[in-house]
DNA sequence: TATTGTTATACTCTATAACTATA
DNA sequence: TATAGTTATAGAGTATAACAATA
């Protein structure tokens, strides 16, 4: 099972430990990006498990949410808002269309573009989806310690995402 | 350029808007997982740009940090701590070894395992790497509004990551 | 039998170039 | 010329199975 040595192996350990002191290497747990990645992976993992029976992935969920709130958006608009390359959006939308959840409608004024909409079935699906999503989201609000903590997290993440980085105090 | 219609297309808009009211679809910006993903992508993107001249990816950085702090760890231990499958860790470690930054040492007591160490060159590399990393990390501390805000963010992320989810108020 | 490191492989995401039909 | 959608393709990152050497 576990090897008999509970203390770490001591090759040239002391030399390296000495070198470490000069380096002041950060604890990986204190690194913002590392922790953000762990948290994101955890939430997405929970999402995948929560939505396994609906066979819904995060990207598909976000597309359905967006066209439910803003029906009629052009395909490229939806893709750009979600940070999906329009080339990659095609297969995703094909899947939603094949499942009868969403549809492309040819625009009359611009025959190049498609406007996106939920189908009636997609609307019923969205109801189930959002009910399930609430349990998923609430799970993490609870872990955070309630709505205030959740709001604080969103606020801090928004600060990270704020494109107005005033490098100096000017502007 | 931009099409003449500034108001959204109004196909069966009113019907869909009515349906939306019943649905109460969340704003995608209010979804924890979505915002976490955006923030993580932003930080990693900044990391990639910051370290483009060192040709260092986040996973490689985390490995170097870990074996700088804890020299002698077994290959599988390092991989597991970072959430990397040991099969995928092989090529990553090959790369660090090929660049002369880290090395596998055959363990005397267990001839199956390798203990991982920085080379002297890897140590010098780590000094440069960490100096650069500090500027990267500080950039986001500044955006957050200082060290207190950064500590708060880490604390909230830790709550998300806490495996002790007390489902009820018991325990 | 179990574990360490390894190879091979497959699947998902993401990124880019180039095509078509419209504008 | 430029744009919307599409196709093809390549690269990362990640996941699993199976093997050899060793425990």
Helix, strand or coil, per DSSP, at residue B52: coil
Q: Which residue of A has its CA nearest to B81?
A: A28
DSSP state at residue A165:
-
Q: Is the pLDDT of residue A72 over 70?
A: yes
Tell me what the mean pLDDT of segment A81-101 comes to.
Answer: 98
Q: How confident is the model at residue A10 (pLDDT cuts 50, 70, 90)?
A: very low
> What are the pLDDT digits (tens) for B86-141?
999 999 999 999 999 999 999 989 999 999 999 999 999 999 999 999 999 999 99
* Inside any domain, residue B3: no
CA distance B54 to B125: 9
CA distance B155 to A144: 9
* Inside any domain, residue B1: no
* Inside any domain, residue B102: yes
Quickly tell me which residue has 């929970």 as its tokens: A46
* Inside any domain, residue A4: no
* Inside any domain, residue B10: no
**Least CB–CB distance from B36: residue in A40, A82, A130:** A40
Q: Dihedral sign, CA of A56, A59, A65, A70?
A: negative
Distance B157 CA to D4 C1' (A): 40
* Inside any domain, residue B80: yes
CA distance A31 to B47: 12
* Residue B111 beta carbon within 7 A of nucleic strand D: yes
> What are the pLDDT digits (tens) for A26-40?
999 999 999 999 999
CA distance B147 to B155: 12
Alpha carbon B59 to chain centroid distance?
8
* Inside any domain, residue A22: no
Q: How confident is the model at residue A20 (pLDDT cuts 50, 70, 90)?
A: low
Closest CA to A68 of A20, A16, A133, A112: A133
Helix, strand or coil, per DSSP, at residue A137: helix
How many folded domains does chain A comprise? Answer: 1
A33 is in which domain, residue-wise?
29-162
Task: Decide if B20 and A69 are in contact by the 8 Å CB cutoff.
Answer: yes
Q: Is the pLDDT of residue B38 over 80?
A: yes
Closest CA to B101 of B72, B64, B70, B130: B64
Using a 7 A cutoff on CB, list residues near strand C: A 1, 57, 59, 84-85, 87-88, 109-112; B 74-76, 86-90, 93-94, 104, 110, 112-114
What pLDDT is recorded for position B1?
37
CA distance A165 to B11: 40
Structure tokens that stand for B171 in this block: 């325990």
CB of A105 within 8 A of CB of A114? Answer: yes
CA distance A60 to A118: 12
Domain containing residue A39: CATH number: 1.10.10.10
Q: Which of A18-22, A74-78, B137-141 has the lowest mean pLDDT?
A: A18-22
Q: What's the predicted TM-score (pTM) here?
A: 0.89
Helix, strand, coil fractions of chain A, as percent rounded to 5:
60, 5, 30
Distance A88 CA to D2 C1' (A): 21
Q: How confident is the model at residue A14 (pLDDT cuts 50, 70, 90)?
A: low
Q: Is the pLDDT of residue A166 over 80?
A: no
* Inside any domain, residue A1: no
Task: Decide if B149 and A159 are in contact by the 8 Å CB cutoff.
Answer: yes
């Amino acid at each position: 099972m576990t090897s008999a040595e509970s203390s770490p192996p001591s090759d040239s350990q002391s030399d390296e430990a000495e070198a470490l002191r000069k380096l002041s290497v950060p604890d990986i747990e204190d690194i913002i990006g590392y922790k953000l990645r762990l948290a994101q992976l955890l939430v997405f993992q929970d999402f995948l498990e929560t939505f396994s029976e609906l066979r819904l992935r995060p990207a598909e969920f976000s597309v359905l949410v967006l066209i439910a709130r803003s029906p009629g958006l052009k395909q490229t608009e939806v893709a750009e808002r979600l940070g999906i390359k329009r080339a990659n959006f095609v297969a995703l939308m094909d899947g939603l269309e094949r499942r009868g959840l969403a549809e492309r409608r040819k625009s009359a004024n611009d025959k190049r573009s498609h406007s996106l909409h939920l189908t009636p079935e997609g609307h019923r699906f969205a109801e189930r989806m959002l009910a399930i999503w609430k349990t998923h989201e609430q799970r993490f609000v609870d872990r955070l310690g309630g709505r205030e903590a959740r709001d604080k997290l969103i606020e801090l993440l928004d600060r990270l995402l704020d494109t107005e980085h005033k490098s100096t105090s000017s502007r």
